[in-house]
Amino acid sequence: MIVSMIQLLIELHDITSIKDKRRAVKSLKDKLIRRYRISVAEVDLQHSLSFTQLGAAVVSNSKSHGEAIMQKVLHFTEEECLGRIQDVQIVSEQF
């Protein structure tokens, strides 16, 4: 079993309240879950207006397949996000 994960640090633009941020983050998370059937969570920076950190994971039987999905997640996030991606980490681990 291979678990492929992505961690995204996103700088948000035009967010004026925590409520706006949560709405934007929830919308992005829901789109990723529906489109790629992955697990997604806001893993850090919940109280920051300017930044969010998202983590996502998928279980597969192939490292290349899992990482290909994570690359698609990255490209989709770049297109749909209300901000700019500052940092990305993609890793796979075998269990």
pLDDT tens, position by position, 15-35: 889 999 999 999 999 999 999
Domain containing 54 equals 2-94
> In the chain, which residues have pLDDT < 70?
none
CATH code of residue 81: 3.30.70.1120
**Confidence (pTM):** 0.86
DSSP one-letter code for 48:
-
The predicted pLDDT at position 48 comes to 87
The predicted pLDDT at position 74 comes to 95
- In our burial notation (b when 16+ CB lie closer than 10 A, e otherwise), range 75-94 reads eebeeebbbeeeebebebee
The predicted pLDDT at position 9 comes to 95
Token pair for 59: 């279980």
Q: Which amino acid is at 74?
A: L
Q: Based on the structure, what is the number of domains in the chain? A: 1
The predicted pLDDT at position 83 comes to 84
